[in-house]
Amino acid sequence: MRRLLPYLTLLLTLTFAASAWVTPFPGFRNDALPIPQPDPLIQPADWAFAVWGVIFAWLIGSAVFGVIARRDDAAWDEARVPLCLSLLFGTPWLLLAKHSAVLATIDIVIMLVFALAAMLRAPRRDIWWLALPVGLYAGWLTAASFVALAITSAGFGLIFGSLGWAWAGLILALTVALLVLEARPWIVTYAVTVAWALIGILAKDAFAHPLYSAVALLGILALALVAFRGQSPRRA
């Protein structure tokens, strides 16, 4: 089975990327939630989602390199197993999101768990070919998972309203991101995509919600600090 892993990784990466072309997703429909969430505070500006183009391209490049040059690499295989599982759950995500916000939220959290496992197992050598593209993917999933969780929970009126869930999602996303980055601070792409999502939030609502925006900005600075410290040779 391990001999098939490089090819399976490439196949699932391609199906995952292709799903974005086959199933466009403009966001959860208003009728997908009992309490519509037409413009949630925690959701980044639309242009921020363009990062998926970079994620898809880099993951495909990583998978192709793995097939050509790292077919029998045990260290790569350690990361390939959870990455394949994340991509397997990721391929139908857009289809699920068009029909069920709840299933889509559960699915993206599963994608995140496996993506983080892949990132944490990625070796430091071949960093540009494995750890960094997987980190880019896992970073965006960290932000996206808590965005989905906050929007869906607010849409069902759980515990508190949209503003409360926006705060909860932001704090939880930052907490998880900082803990993960502390474990792998040299995977700077993880910090970059989480920060990119926060920039997307800032760009959309910086003046309407100054306190929320201030926390998002502090989160960006904290991510940058941890990533910068991780470049020290002592943290290798």
Q: Tell me the pTM.
A: 0.94
Instruction: Report how far apart, in Å, the C-alpha atoms of 119 and of each of 11, 47, 205 are.
Output: 19, 26, 31
Q: Model confidence over 128-175: pLDDT tens digits?
A: 999 999 999 999 999 999 999 999 999 999 888 899 999 999 999 999
Cα(33)–Cα(99) distance, integer angstroms: 10
Tokens of 129: 């070919």
What is the sign of the dihedral through the CA atoms of 43, 217, 50 and 90?
Answer: negative
Helix (H) or strand (E) holding 224: helix 210-229
Contact between 55 and 128 under an 8 Å Cβ cutoff? The reply is no
- The reported pLDDT for the residue numbered 24 is 65
Say if residues 147 and 108 touch (Cβ distance below 8 Å).
no
Separation of CA 210 from chain center: 25
| pLDDT score, position 235 | 47
**Boundaries of every domain in the chain:** 2-20+41-231
Confidence band (pLDDT; 50, 70, 90) for 90? very high
CB 143 within 8 A of CB 197: yes
Identify the band that residue 91 occupies on the pLDDT scale cut at 50, 70 and 90.
very high
pLDDT in tens, 33-62: 889 888 899 999 999 999 999 999 999 999
Q: Is the pLDDT of residue 236 over 70?
A: no
